[in-house]
Amino acid sequence: MDFEKLFKDLKNDILSLVKDRFGEEGKTIKKDISDFFDASKDKLKRWTEMLANGVITPGEYELLMKSQKDLVVMTALHKAGISKIRIGHFKNAVIKLILNKVILLVGI
């Protein structure tokens, strides 16, 4: 498993999701996404390896990912007037995107 490629693909996929969900307002969120990924990279790598090696289940992986949801701080979107509910839905979509891509890659 090439984690660096996975990590880069996830980051690009999430930036595309931002563009789809928020349009022009999403352009200002790139720093927030980078900050989230920088803060979560080591944990994401460790948890992904644990999932791939059968140490944890997909359900446990999902719980671990959800624990990171509060790290997805969307300061730029909040300043642009996007509601907390809409930002919350976006955070859930980010976690789901990561989970689906990792499970597909790991082959579970």
- pLDDT 10s digits, 34-73: 777 788 889 999 999 999 999 999 999 999 988 877 766 6
- pLDDT 10s digits, 78-108: 676 777 787 788 888 888 998 999 988 887 7
pTM listed for this prediction: 0.77
Q: Are 55 and 106 in contact (CB under 8 A)?
A: no
pLDDT band at 33 (very low <50, low <70, confident <90, very high): confident
Which residue is it, tokens 């022009």? 24
Provide the pLDDT for residue 49.
93
Residues 6+ apart with CB under 8 A from 32: 72, 73, 74, 75, 76, 77
Provide the pLDDT for residue 71.
67
What residue segments make up the domains of the chain, in order of their start? 3-106
